Amino acid sequence: MLPADPVARRGAVFAVSVLLALIAGYFIGKSSVSSSPAAPPVAPHVHAGGGSYGLVVESSSFVAGVAQPLRFTVHAPDGAVVTRFETLHDKQLHLIVLRTDLTGYQHLHPDKDSDGVWSIPLTLPSPGSWRIFADFSTVASDGHRIDDTASAQLGVAGSYDPVALPSSSSVFDVDGVSVTMDGAVRAGGTVPLLVRTSAGPLERYLGAFGHLVVVRADDLSYVHVHPEDQLYRGAVRFWVTVPGPGKYRAFFDFSVGGVVRTAQFTLAV
């Protein structure tokens, strides 16, 4: 009930108006927040370069086109050779191989002996400087799991003709399969990338519907992202964070009909 006094009545009406405006503002703000892009349902699993662990390669010199043994060890920050690794996506270590112009991509899985020495036959097809990235999970002295990436340089003698980075495109065709990537990666934020293929159904490869490796062209900054466990509206959804602006090459590994293929995209951030 409003007061009989006119002055008091005007004050009461003003107070009610302010209260209604505040309530309306709250619901408008709540609506605008809910319309923003969805956040990851769970924290994405990411291996990023520049960690505290290192790789020591027994021999870094290779001959173009010749299969040679690659042997290396992973070293903890204190210099000790790491011998205990956790299985992650069906393997204890994932090895990514790239020439420094971001060509020649390979995703390999070496074997480890009891002394912590990893080995695998490796063929580098062309001269130039090559980089290997080892993704792994190990256990710290206090018992917690550490996900890290370590890298090392390899070299192939001969005349090196770097290949220019292809222009940006959202579609890549590989072995008759068309792969589409939707989404815009931006520096300073985690954003979703949706990847679809014209073939199907997608099969799990190394425990996931796909694997995404993203490398920056100018300094080889590296990110390896695993997707959500289930498909999102028929697409593989990755939540991607990149270290900063630049041009990146993205490599999407997937399996259809028991055949693993790799689609490649150039991203401008």
| 52/149 same-domain check | yes
Number of domains in the chain: 2
Residue 248 CA to residue 214 CA, distance in Å, equals: 6
Residue 12 lies in a domain: no
With vertex at residue 228, the alpha carbon angle to CA 142 and CA 182, rounded to the nearest 5 degrees, is: 130
Contact 200, 249 (CB under 8 A): no
Residue 62 lies in a domain: yes
| 87/150 same-domain check | yes
pLDDT tens-digit series, residues 188-229:
889 999 999 998 789 999 999 999 999 999 999 999 999 999
Please give the residue that has the higher pLDDT: either 198 or 3. Answer: 198
| pLDDT attached to residue 48 | 56
| 183/152 same-domain check | no
Name which of 106, 120, 125, 105 is nearest 65 in CA terms. Answer: 125
Place 13 in a pLDDT band, splitting at 50, 70 and 90: very low
Please give the residue that has the higher pLDDT: either 7 or 161. Answer: 161
pLDDT tens-digit series, residues 107-129:
999 999 999 999 999 999 999 99
Residue 71 lies in a domain: yes
| 126/180 same-domain check | no
Residue 27 lies in a domain: no
| 85/152 same-domain check | yes
Q: Is the pTM of this model over 0.85?
A: no
Pick the last residue of a domain from 102, 128, 156. Answer: 156
Please give the residue that has the higher pLDDT: either 182 or 51. Answer: 182
CATH number where 261 lies: 2.60.40.1930
Residue 203 lies in a domain: yes
Domain of 137, in residue numbers: 45-156
| pLDDT attached to residue 40 | 53
Place 25 in a pLDDT band, splitting at 50, 70 and 90: very low
| 136/182 same-domain check | no
pLDDT tens-digit series, residues 221-264:
999 999 999 999 999 999 999 999 999 999 999 999 999 999 99
The yes-or-no verdict on residue 22 having pLDDT over 90 is: no
The yes-or-no verdict on residue 35 having pLDDT over 60 is: no
| 184/152 same-domain check | no
Place 89 in a pLDDT band, splitting at 50, 70 and 90: confident
| 120/221 same-domain check | no
Please give the residue that has the higher pLDDT: either 83 or 143. Answer: 83
